[in-house]
Structure 1
Amino acid sequence: MTIRGEDLLIMGAWGLLVGSLIDTIGQTQQSLTGTDLGKDLIIKGNGIEAFGNSLQAIGRTKLLPPEPELSEIYSILGCWLEAAGNSTNAIGVEIEVNVSEDEGIKIDTLGSGVQALGAAFEAVGASLTEDSSFRSLSIKGNSFISLGSLLESIGNIFVINNKTEIGEQILLVGSWIQVIGSFILVHAITLEVESISSSKIESSNLSYYNYNTC
């Protein structure tokens, strides 16, 4: 059974939302208690987010026309960068817990930076598309995710420099901003998939009409 690109987009968006919620619950526990409580959820959340980003990248690749637009290339690149960033986050937190706290935080910081860059690419890709019902939502959602990831990277820098309290606060704010962005993105992608489906139906009906009038 072949999964359609539209289905992968929806699955990826919901995976990103679920992952970001799990990550944020873990980050909230960690920030409020000042302990490692919640790090296991952060690891799982980032892993689910990376999986969701990968599904989106594959879905968008399956939907590429023979001559893709620059906006579509930017969006696919952004998805893969986000997947790489979230995977790096998960690895970094794992290292932080089990191997070296300093090294783990540095890797986590890098991952958040890569994720911010990926979401920024997606926002730019959305901005280059034609005006539609989902265009502005896609820009907003990805911008929120990019900002939240950037704040997480900054928060980790504060933690590395022994300013743990303010660093944890920034991490918490960044995490919740990503959740907001993920909610917006689910709505945006739902509208985008509806638009794609409508276009396919119209194209099919037109082809049928042309065939039967020849």
Structure 2
Amino acid sequence: MTTHGDDLLISGAWLLGIGTLAGAIGQTRQTLTGTNLGKDLLLKGNVIEAVGNSLQAIGRTKMINPENELSESYFIFGAWLEAAGNTANAVGIDMQLNGSEDEGTRTDALGSGIQGLGAAFEAFGASLTEESFTRSLEIKGNALIAAGSFFESIGNIFILNEKKRMGEHILLLGSWAQVFGAFILIEAFSLGPEPEQPEKGKEERSSHFSYANYHI
């Protein structure tokens, strides 16, 4: 049975997936056209991501207990950092759309760096949990989001140094890396907790029914 915290994690993961996909589509349009076409979609995508990260932070807070306090603390801190980073991205892109190109790009680069750091904290938090298939997915998903965010920060630095074409391609790579990471997290949270192992002596007779009480 899922808890309210689980529901928030799943909802946040789906919002993260939608936000990263919207941002990647916007970035693809911008890179292919060499114009600001797609920036509005990038802005909306980052806002959606920030909401998703906030839901995940709240969900993790509801799930915290003495047994998982350390790992969940990393998850919570990381999720709030990601929300702050995405908010800074949205502010930076809005500044670019309103004519403050360089200042907006700097803010966007800073936001991506903060977001990458937050995802790295979440990947580390996942590494502290018990060995499981979902643990592996959470590590991979957050690692991809962290890498993609750092790529976006680097891409913006290239643009600031008047290497716009190279910077745009790095931004494109980073945006799609985050999409893959987000959808890996959706899979991880949708799987839910793994079934407990049957007690010794009951394993053989319950083997045909071991998944009867679990659903995805």
User: Which TM-score tier does this pair reach, normalised by the shorter chain?
Assistant: 0.7 to 0.9
Taking the TM superposition and a 5 Å limit, the aligned residue runs for 1:195-210 are: 195=193
Structure-to-structure mapping, 1:1-214, within 5 angstroms: 4-66=4-66, 68-191=68-191, 194-195=192-193
| Cα distance between partner residues in 1 of 2:119 and 2:54 | 13
Give, in whole Å, the separation in 2 of the partners of 1:170 and 1:98. 23
Q: What CA deviation, in whole Å up to 9, does each residue of 1:11-38 have, x standing for no partner?
A: 0000000000000110000000000000
User: What is the rounded CA distance, in whole Å, between the counterparts of 1:109 and 1:58 in structure 2?
Assistant: 26
Higher share in helix: 1
Letter in 1 for 2:57: A
Amino acid at match of 1:133: F
Q: Which runs of 5+ in 2 are unaligned?
A: 197-216
TM-score by length of 1: 0.88
Unaligned runs of 5+ in 1: 200-214
- Measure the CA separation in 2 of the matches of 1:68 and 1:126: 11
Structure 1 runs, 4 residues or longer, greater than 3 Å off = none
Letter in 1 for 2:48: I
Identity of aligned residues (%): 63
TM-score, normalised to structure 2, is 0.87
Distance 1:41 1:187 in 2: 25
Size of the aligned set, in residue pairs, is 194
Amino acid at match of 2:135: R
How far does residue 99 in structure 1 lie from its aligned partner after superposition?
3.8
RMSD value over aligned CA atoms? 1.3
Q: Quick one: which amino acid aligns to residue 195 of structure 1?
A: P
Cα deviation, 1:105-147, whole Å, max 9, x if unaligned, reads 0000000000000000000000010111201110000000000
Distance 2:22 2:131 in 1: 33
Match of 1:195, SS state, is coil
